[in-house]
Amino acid sequence: MRRFTALFGLALSLQSSLVAAVVEPKPETEPTPEPTAPPAPAPAAARSRVLPTAAAVVPGLVLHGSGQLALGENTTAKNLILMEGAGLGLFLTGGLTVVFTGASRYFVAPAATFAIAGFGLFSTSYLVDIYGSAATDQGAVPSHLRAVARWETEVGYRRIQDPEFAYRDFLVERVSRQLGPLRLNPSGWFSLRGDTARYRLESQYRLLGNIDEPRPRDVSFLDVTLGFVHQRHSPEHFTKSSAELSLDARYDLARLGPTLRGAFVELGAGYAIGRIDYNLQGLTVPHDIEHLLLGRVGFGVALRGQSAPGSDVLVYYDHRHDDYVAGLKLTGIPSGIAGHFGLLARWFFSESVGVALDAQAGSAYLAGASLLFRAPSRPAPHEAAP
Interacting residue ranges for another protein, rule: CB under 8 A: 99-106, 108-109, 112, 130-131, 134-135, 161-165, 231, 233, 236-238, 240, 271, 274, 276, 278, 280, 283, 285-286, 288, 290-293, 301, 313, 315, 321-322, 324, 326-337, 340-341, 343, 345, 359, 361-365
| Least Å from the CB of residue 352 to another protein | 25
Report how far residue 230's alpha carbon sits from residue 199's, in angstroms, rounded to the nearest whole number.
5
CA angle (91 as vertex; 85, 93 as ends), nearest 5? 100
Which is nearer to another protein, 105 or 382 (by Cβ)?
105
Q: How far is the CB of 219 from another protein (least distance, A)?
A: 18
Q: Measured from the CB of residue 38, what is the shortest distance to another protein in angstroms? A: 20
3-state secondary structure of 338: coil
- What is 250-316 written as a DSSP string? EEEGGGG-GGGTTEEEEEEEEEEEEEEEE--TT-----EEEEEEEEEEEEEEE--TTSPTT-EEEEE
| Cα–Cα distance for residue pair 190/155, rounded to 1 Å | 11
> At 155, is the secondary structure helix, strand, or coil?
strand
- For another protein, the closer of residues 218 and 318 by Cβ is 318
CB of 127 to another protein, least distance (A): 8
Residue 252 has a CB neighbour count (10 Å cut-off) of 27
Q: DSSP secondary-structure letter at 58? A: T
Task: Tell the burial category of 363 from Cβ atoms under 10 Å away from its Cβ (0-12, 13-18, 19+).
Answer: buried
Least Å distance, CB 314 to another protein, is 10
Q: Which is nearer to another protein, 224 or 337 (CB)?
A: 337
Select 200 or 374, whichever has its Cβ closest to another protein.
200
In this complex, which beta carbon is closest to another protein, that of residue 27 or of residue 102? 102
Could you give the 3-state DSSP secondary structure of residue 324? coil
What are the φ and ψ backbone dihedral angles of 372, each rounded to 5 degrees? -115, 135
Nearer to another protein, 17 or 66 (CB): 66
Amino acid at 184: L
CA 328 to chain centre: 18
Residue 356 C-beta: closest distance to another protein, Å: 14
Least distance from another protein to the Cβ atom of residue 292, Å:
6
Report the C-alpha gap between 348 and 122 in whole angstroms. Answer: 30
Nearer to another protein, 180 or 286 (CB): 286
What is the helix (H) or strand (E) element at residue 178, kind and residue range? strand 169-179
Nearest distance, CB of residue 76 and another protein, angstroms: 19
CA 96 to centroid of chain Cα atoms: 25
Please state the closest distance from residue 29 (CB atom) to another protein, in A.
Answer: 36
- Cβ proximity to another protein: between 82 and 269 the closer is 269
Closest to another protein by CB, 177 vs 287, is: 287
Q: Which is nearer to another protein, 300 or 309 (CB)?
A: 300
> To 10 degrees, the CA torsion angle through 117, 121, 124, 129?
180
3-class SS of residue 24: coil
Minimum CB distance to another protein, residue 271 (Å): 7
Largest interatomic CA distance in the chain: 76
Residues 6+ apart with CB under 8 A from 382: none
